[in-house]
A and B are shown apart, each in its own frame.
Chain A
């Protein structure tokens, strides 16, 4: 490993998990650069990642919006049929503090995945189309990364299956179309997150903002 003094600072990469410095060399598509101490994946570019992630983000956006209005479960009992969509879940809790639970649930199931898809598409579209980065693209990409643990579509899909079993003796339950949308959505979200290499995207955003006459990235703020 080169001593940090010999390398321009822009070519250094610090491991976010153990702070070890590495020289960020060019990593070929499909290969991974791993921290030599804690084995965190530092760089893992994928060919055509932007196009695919952009396409999947748009697909996710459509899926989330469609899933809001379609029922995800329906119940048959004693001649009564009840179908619920996520909007019903959001509005069904009437009493006091429990409203917090339904609002939080719907935010994690719908709002966060929706915002992630929108922001990611916004940040990646110029990279995929080889345009100059849109204003605020850095902020948008950062927010998608930060929201990642709070997007819980796959957990909700499993929750539907558990709910189905839980009331099996009370009534007959069927999956509605939105359930299958959530299954597909969960798979797509996984694919997007797997194909994204944070370091490569940050580097690409740097490049996409360095048009002639634009200068370089904004200078960091330094304490006096």
Chain B
């Protein structure tokens, strides 16, 4: 088991070719090369915090403002899901809840856990943490469902006085929260997970 770094090489994360350690950019795909992303954890936390800050108004303010002839209703994310469930569409309500509440919360916890575990130089379960990271990268985008629903509905439901739907301030906050947490996950360099493992070659990570 030799890592590229132990062999004095640097791996391109885009095309997987290896170059001598001091190489600045990949000769094959042109990406800048870093043995480990500089300040990876700081950038993870910065985006993470920005995402969390946006996530609070995203839940407090209305996502959708529905106006009909007789009524006006402001739906927050959770309120909207409850509304759908009340109509009997439990499956769709579940999709909304999972995409807008469950996934973001899991994401905040999981990214925080990964960043902390690297900071603490944890040696436990690197394969499981790697899988967790892959899952986080995969599911993060799905939170955009609710933003798209708002965009669709406010374009579609413009029936003069009969009914109209306007986006609420939470739509912007939520979209930003999703995008920031995607950046946060992207800033995490998974190679850090493996750096503090006891090396069989006897060369510790520097």
A residues with a Cβ closer than 8 A to B are: 1, 3-5, 9-10, 12-21, 36-40, 42, 72-73, 75, 77-78, 80, 82, 84, 88-89, 92-93, 97-98, 100-102, 104-106, 108-109, 138-139, 141-142, 145-146, 149-150, 152, 155-156, 158-163, 165-171, 173, 198-199, 202, 205-206, 217-223
B155-A170 in contact (CB<8A):
no
B96-A202 in contact (CB<8A):
no
A221-B23 in contact (CB<8A):
yes
Bound Cα distance from A156 to B151, whole angstroms: 10
Contact of B16 among A4, A36, A199 (CB under 8 A): A199
Pairs across A and B, CB under 8 Å, 28 listed: A1-B2, A9-B20, A12-B17, A12-B18, A16-B11, A18-B193, A19-B35, A20-B4, A37-B194, A38-B190, A75-B157, A75-B159, A92-B155, A102-B151, A108-B144, A152-B141, A155-B148, A156-B148, A159-B144, A159-B145, A162-B149, A166-B92, A168-B89, A171-B163, A173-B156, A220-B24, A221-B27, A223-B23
B40 at the interface (CB under 8 A from A): no
B1-31: CB near A (< 8 Å → 1, else 0) gives 1111101011111111111101111111111
Bound Cα distance from A4 to B4, whole angstroms: 9
B156-A19 in contact (CB<8A):
no
A166-B80 in contact (CB<8A):
yes
* B45-53, B109-117, B167-175 - interface stretch: B167-175
Bound Cα distance from A217 to B194, whole angstroms: 31
B residues with a Cβ closer than 8 A to A are: 1-5, 7, 9-20, 22-31, 35, 66, 68, 80, 83-84, 87, 89, 92, 95-96, 126-127, 130, 137, 140-142, 144-160, 162-163, 165, 167, 171-172, 175, 179, 182, 186, 190-191, 193-194
CB distance from A141 to the nearest CB of B (A): 8
Please give, as numbers and ranges, the residues of chain B lying within 8 Å of A104 by CB-CB distance.
Answer: 175, 179
Known: A14-B16, A38-B126. A220 touches B27 (CB 8 A): yes
Bound Cα distance from A5 to B172, whole angstroms: 53
Please give, as numbers and ranges, the residues of chain B lying within 8 Å of A167 by CB-CB distance.
Answer: 153, 156-157, 165
B5-A19 in contact (CB<8A):
yes
A80-B159 in contact (CB<8A):
yes
Known: A14-B16, A149-B137. A73 touches B127 (CB 8 A): no
Bound Cα distance from A61 to B4, whole angstroms: 39
With A17-B190, A142-B14 already in contact, 18 other A-B pairs whose C-beta atoms are closer than 8 Å: A12-B4, A12-B17, A14-B11, A14-B17, A18-B194, A21-B3, A39-B127, A80-B160, A104-B175, A105-B147, A142-B15, A149-B140, A155-B145, A162-B145, A165-B89, A168-B87, A199-B15, A219-B27
Please give, as numbers and ranges, the residues of chain A lying within 8 Å of B162 by CB-CB distance.
Answer: 77-78, 80
B16-A42 in contact (CB<8A):
yes
Known: A17-B130, A166-B84. A101 touches B167 (CB 8 A): yes
Please give, as numbers and ranges, the residues of chain A lying within 8 Å of B160 by CB-CB distance.
Answer: 80
Contact of A101 among B11, B14, B145, B172 (CB under 8 A): B172
